[in-house]
Structure 1
Amino acid sequence: MIDDTFRLTVLGSATPYASVDNPCSGYLVSSGGTRIWVDAGSGTLAQLQRHTHLGELDAIWISHLHADHSADLLTAYYAALYADLRLTAPIPLYGPPGTADRLAHFLTNGPVRSPVESAFAVHELHDGHQVRLGQLMLTSGAVQHGMPAFGVRIEAAGRSLAYSGDTAPCAALTRLAAGCDVLLCEAESNEAPTEGDQVHHTPEDAGDTASAARAGRLIVTHVGRFLSPEQAVARASGRFGGPVDYAAPGATFAVG
């Protein structure tokens, strides 16, 4: 019998580089046999294999092309084409415009472009992009990170998970997360930078976004190196009245 529990599993949440016990940003979202690898930061491919294999994924979704959210696509490429996996078709990959060319730039070592599309069926995201993958409906929304970047709302059986990716506080994320059961929100910044330069949430911002979106639960992730998880949770809790958790590596959360 297939377990239809809607789950978020944290593969890693470190920034801007992996620690000895925490890979960079990456998550496995699953429901009823549908599995999506959300962000592929360095170190997350190894942790993904604790739960599933590349060949069993329904898709990969990438918020933006900073290395701490996408670097393991490079090793996934070699796994898909040159190792023990035998894919029946390229893995659907949803990412910002230019994803395929960015991968090819890193992977090509001679005059012939690496066959990125043999490993990944690349679909470029845009604001309002929607796709149904098995039991999961994904709606992507453009957010503010100083480069093409997206958040995502994932829904299954009336329950919803919203993920910020990396972004400054913005109305677009609040709309995307409106009424969600769980908001997975970055809280990297220790202190807000000067006006006009902010491209991340502080923990207080994460709490404010969760409150404005009327989220049921907040999970802070991507906590900066100058904060402890406990500090981030405490600071976010000062702005949000619902439950607040930390995206600890290896943790699994039921959505709804």
Structure 2
Amino acid sequence: MNSERLRLTVLGSATPYPTVDNPCSGYLLSSGGTRVWMDAGTGTLAQLQRYARLDELDAIWISHLHADHSADLLTAYYGALFADVRLAAPIPLYGPAGTADRLAHFLTNTSTRSPVESAFAVHELHDGHQVQVGALTLTSRAVAHGIPAFAVRVEAGGTSLVYSGDTAPCASLTELAEGCDALLCEAESVQAPVGEEKVHHTPEDSGETAGAARAARLIVTHVGRSLTPQQAVERAATRFDGPVDHAAPGATFSFG
């Protein structure tokens, strides 16, 4: 496999809590020697260590602060400062506004604020945020999840992957995913109850978003517990003509 290719390794894709063999949402992005941990859901830090140590990461990117996408930042903090890891500098951490204070409020147990900035150099995302991390270009867009939440387009070597994070179908995600090589999109099992704000994609929605964006490939993730992954793939495929896969834990996808 060409190490310069953009690669996505699935650390976990369960929701809203991990199963015995599948952590919550978390992925490792890599190209050449660049490594980015994308979402840090419950249980993903353990799986991350199959591929990279914390001190080998170039950055962490967090879509939103629900626990199934961010909880392992808490254990990563302890790992980065109080164990066998020796950081040359705090790990760049890109996340929604308030990420640092949210972590500090949980970790602080005395009148002295826990020094989360000793482990993470926190950069707050905004709509249209763009950063170059080694070989990877990350462009973030605000999406519709009822709280501050972001999707991201990752580009390297002329190829592109778009990750929805958690969101209802929205124009900003479709625009971000335009012409991408792959759309990694959540596929919750059911529609929101009548009268409630929609905050997730169903499998059918994920297929429609992929089609509207003219994505070359769809990878469904964050599949609700009332569905099997195969059912989610089949439902998404009714609305999308391209190849559809499931983000199974441990799977690696290569683009380019």
Secondary structure at the residue paired with 1:47?
A: helix
- Does the 8 A contact of 1:190 with 1:227 survive in 2? no
Q: Which residue number corresponds to residue 74 of structure 1?
A: 74
Q: If the length of structure 1 is used for normalisation, what is the TM-score?
A: 0.98
Distance 2:196 2:180 in 1: 28
Alignment of 1:55-94 (within 5 A): 55-94=55-94
- Does the 8 A contact of 1:189 with 1:200 survive in 2? no
Distance 2:157 2:195 in 1: 41
Q: Which residue number corresponds to residue 25 of structure 2?
A: 25
Q: Indicate the larger mover: 185-194 or 46-55.
A: 185-194
Secondary structure at the residue paired with 1:106?
A: helix
Q: Which residue number corresponds to residue 207 of structure 1?
A: 207
Moved over 3 A (4+): none
- Does the 8 A contact of 1:41 with 1:72 survive in 2? yes
% identical aligned pairs = 76
Distance 2:28 2:104 in 1: 25
Secondary structure at the residue paired with 2:151?
A: strand
Distance 1:212 1:81 in 2: 45
Distance 2:195 2:172 in 1: 19
Distance 2:138 2:6 in 1: 13
Q: If the length of structure 2 is used for normalisation, what is the TM-score?
A: 0.98
Deviation, structure 1 residue 6: 1.1
Distance 1:12 1:212 in 2: 27
Q: Which residue number corresponds to residue 232 of structure 1?
A: 232
Q: Does 1:120 align with 2:120?
A: yes
Secondary structure at the residue paired with 1:17?
A: coil
Letter of the 1:78 counterpart: Y
C-alpha deviations, 1:213-251, integer Å up to 9, x for none?
000000000000101101000000000000000000000
Deviation, structure 1 residue 160: 0.2
Q: Which residue number corresponds to residue 160 of structure 2?
A: 160
- Structure 2: gaps (5+ residues): none
Deviation, structure 1 residue 24: 0.1
- Does the 8 A contact of 2:191 with 2:198 survive in 1? no
Q: Which residue number corresponds to residue 170 of structure 2?
A: 170
- Does the 8 A contact of 1:192 with 1:202 survive in 2? no
Distance 2:114 2:191 in 1: 42
Distance 1:39 1:178 in 2: 22
Q: Does 1:133 align with 2:133?
A: yes
Distance 1:87 1:171 in 2: 39
Deviation, structure 1 residue 180: 0.2
Distance 2:32 2:145 in 1: 33
Secondary structure at the residue paired with 1:35?
A: strand
Distance 1:90 1:240 in 2: 42
- Does the 8 A contact of 2:192 with 2:199 survive in 1? no
Distance 1:195 1:186 in 2: 22
Q: Indicate the larger mover: 196-205 or 139-148.
A: 196-205
C-alpha deviations, 1:121-158, integer Å up to 9, x for none?
00000000000001100000000000000000000011
- Structure 1: gaps (5+ residues): none
Aligned CA-pair RMSD: 1.2
Distance 1:230 1:104 in 2: 40
Q: Which residue number corresponds to residue 34 of structure 2?
A: 34
C-alpha deviations, 1:3-39, integer Å up to 9, x for none?
2121000000000000000000000000011000000
